[in-house]
Amino acid sequence: MQEAPLYEEAEGPAGGRAFWLTTSDGVRIRMGWWPAQGEAKGTVLLFPGRTEYVEKYGHAACAYTKAGFNMISVDWRGQGLADRALPERATGHIDEFDEYQRDVAAVTAAVRELEGERPLPWSVIGHSMGGAIGLRAIYEGLPVAASVFSAPMWGIRFHPIVRPAAWVLSTLSRPLRMSDRFAPGTVPEAYTQANPFADNMLTRDPEMWEYMRRQIAAHPDLSLGGPSLNWLNRALLDVRDLMRRPAPALPCMTWLGEGERIVDKSAVQKRMASWPDGDLVMPEGAEHEIMMELPEVREAFYARTTAFFAEHFAKAKPSA
């Protein structure tokens, strides 16, 4: 693996590194790796959401490495420093949603290489779009001992009047050769740079808002704007398929802010109501970014998830 940049604005723990990975279809992505402080009990695979990048989870890495876990994060194709599909870098675009599973395969191979001769049990945290990618990966055999989801994209929030139009317009975008255009209502700028803190849909914590803004301001190459019409269409199709499947037989804890305004809350609640070994936590008033929320929400999330991972790592077989 070739070393890649890891920007100091991550504010992650000592020992963090980043690597370039090449997927089976030749796309270059980036993975961040933070080793556990002390002997590792397991590895946390943190799957970020759309527009996100490795550095955004430096604070999460501090929490998990201190608890004795290795942690990775990733720049999915089309975002962060990974290869982008279009000359217009600001557009979040893919051809097919299952392309992200090629990224997952490259990441898991790299983690096995880093763990070396002592493979460890794994767990996954899937945030937003990473929640859809993570759940799909579990269905396809990702060998994890337990799963945590943060505001998972198991449905996309639309006004009921707008939803049919989103389906029709995104479906027609390919034959009309408009698939690479921005979805209506979205802009080329990153959300934190295009909007004020007041009434934002990500976090109630001004310090975490500024943390995200600083990262993009310092490194504009990390920035990503709205999704393409094709991304929207493929995302709608993917989450529809995911929700038609039964919940996997895997311990699961899902966190969903009571104030969530980006993903479809009812889809998450419906999925968790049918998850046999699942627990849904809904912090009062919290917005979309649970790991960027007010300190009491973040601290509760890290405390409960580290205990959850430790419990299931102790019972688990290694991932390899």
In the chain, count of helices (H) and strands (E)?
A: 9, 9
What is the residue extent of each domain of the chain?
2-158+197-224+246-315
Q: How confident is the model at residue 166 (pLDDT cuts 50, 70, 90)?
A: confident
Residues pairing with 91 in the sheet: none
Kindly report, residue by residue over 265-289, the tens digit of the pLDDT.
999 999 999 999 899 999 999 999 9
Given a cut of 60, whether residue 291 has pLDDT beyond it is yes
- Are the beta carbons of 10 and 55 closer than 8 angstroms? yes
Q: What is the pLDDT of residue 177?
A: 86
Kindly report, residue by residue over 193-244, the tens digit of the pLDDT.
999 999 999 999 999 999 999 999 999 999 999 999 999 999 999 999 999 9
Given a cut of 80, whether residue 262 has pLDDT beyond it is yes
Given a cut of 90, whether residue 147 has pLDDT beyond it is yes
What is the pLDDT of the chain when averaged over all its residues?
A: 95
* 3-state secondary structure (DSSP) of residue 143: coil
Given a cut of 90, whether residue 108 has pLDDT beyond it is yes
Looking at residues 77-94, what average pLDDT do you find?
A: 96
* Total-model pTM: 0.96
Q: How confident is the model at residue 172 (pLDDT cuts 50, 70, 90)?
A: confident
C-alpha to C-alpha distance for 65 and 82, rounded to whole angstroms: 25
Looking at residues 234-255, what average pLDDT do you find?
A: 97
Q: What is the pLDDT of residue 320?
A: 55
Q: How confident is the model at residue 319 (pLDDT cuts 50, 70, 90)?
A: low
Q: Read off the amino acid at residue 78.
A: G
Fold that domain 2-158+197-224+246-315 belongs to in CATH:
Rossmann fold (3.40.50)
C-alpha to C-alpha distance for 97 and 85, rounded to whole angstroms: 13
Looking at residues 69-89, what average pLDDT do you find?
A: 97
Q: What is the pLDDT of residue 40?
A: 95
Given a cut of 70, whether residue 54 has pLDDT beyond it is yes
